Amino acid sequence: MNLKILVTGSEGFIGSHIIEKLVKKGYKVKALVLYNFNNSYGWLDTLDKKTLKEIEIIAGDIRDLGFLLQITKKIDIILHLAALISIPYSYKAPYSSLESNILGSFNILESAKINSVKKIIMTSTSEVYGTAQQVPINERHPLNPQSPYAASKVAADKISLSYNRSFDLPVTIIRPFNTYGPRQSLRAIIPSIISQLVSGKKIIEIGDISPKRDFTYINDTVDAFLLAIKSKKIIGEEINLGNGFDISIGQILNILKEDFKFDFKIKINKERLRPKKSEVYRLIASNIKAKKLLNWKPKHNGLQGFRRGLKKTIKWYEDSNNLKYFRVNEYNI
């Protein structure tokens, strides 16, 4: 395909999976990874050589407008996934979240405007809604950020929409609900639990087990981004990506015991608890808009779909060649 696509955050969990799919579909891909001391490309380093040959990889930083102005020249579409995503870290270093997520997003938008990019897909988060005030959560649900991270993403979303309304910039906001699957950081709840189990631990350290989430398997999230690239109906829109099915952390623990035969006990670690007013207790998406505008049909929906996604995820983390990339014995904030 002739379209040239820039993916920021391409070395990360969702970004690396999107890169793989884009290459398979024949797109010209430019992958932005965060500049670092040892020239690591993150998860892109684990892709096969044939795929890597098809990717133009550039190291840099979304906080540098001058840099972005250069690399967005002759780009048709931007998929902006780069962000500082840790909620616990945003308690300790809130300015870092604000700088990366707000300034970084502004720089992407400004670069896209100056260089006349044809479509910009910004990545949001279900955390912008806070604990559900009504269910399922549609795109008109009030925004109620309960952490510095969530607040930074609300600001980025609002700036994105302002660029669409003020400058007619072709912006779309995609808002995933708790994507999970292979390569996810241990900062997320599912890989945090699974990594402890597959490494042989019998006592699993965990935070609050009552919150409920709408978990979306990585392949389904990636499919939505690919559909968004092609869609002509989504400019200026915010679109939730979720299954419309929620499950508590406690219920997941029971599934791991009953369905997957893991033998363990849990230990509530106070370090893993959010401040009480900051905890988001329920997130469940309405995906009506995603189905209508993207023709998106998640394949891992409902309880059975979740179990299938969980099985694939466990299998990936069980492989020592994958688990070696993580610090299982440390609490990752």
The Cα–Cα gap between 259 and 254 comes to 8
Residue of 150, 67, 160, 161 lying closest to 115 (CA atoms): 67
pLDDT tens readout for residues 117-166: 999 999 999 999 999 999 999 999 999 999 999 999 999 999 999 999 99
With a CB cutoff of 8 Å and minimum separation 6, the contacts of 169 are: 109, 112, 113, 120, 163
Under 8 Å between Cβ of 108 and 68: yes
Residue 183 has a pLDDT of: 98
pLDDT tens readout for residues 48-104: 999 999 999 999 999 999 999 999 999 999 999 999 999 999 999 999 999 999 999
Question: Would the pLDDT of 291 be above 80?
Answer: yes
Model pTM score: 0.97
Question: Would the pLDDT of 234 be above 80?
Answer: yes
Q: Name the active-site residue from 41, 149, 180, 217.
A: 149
Nearest-Å Rg of the Cα atoms of the chain is 19
Residue 332 has a pLDDT of: 82
pLDDT tens readout for residues 25-41: 999 999 999 999 999 99
- Phi and psi, residue 262, nearest 5°: -80, 135
CATH number of 4-180+216-243+285-299: 3.40.50.720
Question: Would the pLDDT of 2 be above 90?
Answer: no
Question: Would the pLDDT of 330 be above 90?
Answer: no
Query: What's the mean pLDDT when you consider all of the chain?
Result: 97
The answer to whether 149 is a known catalytic residue is yes
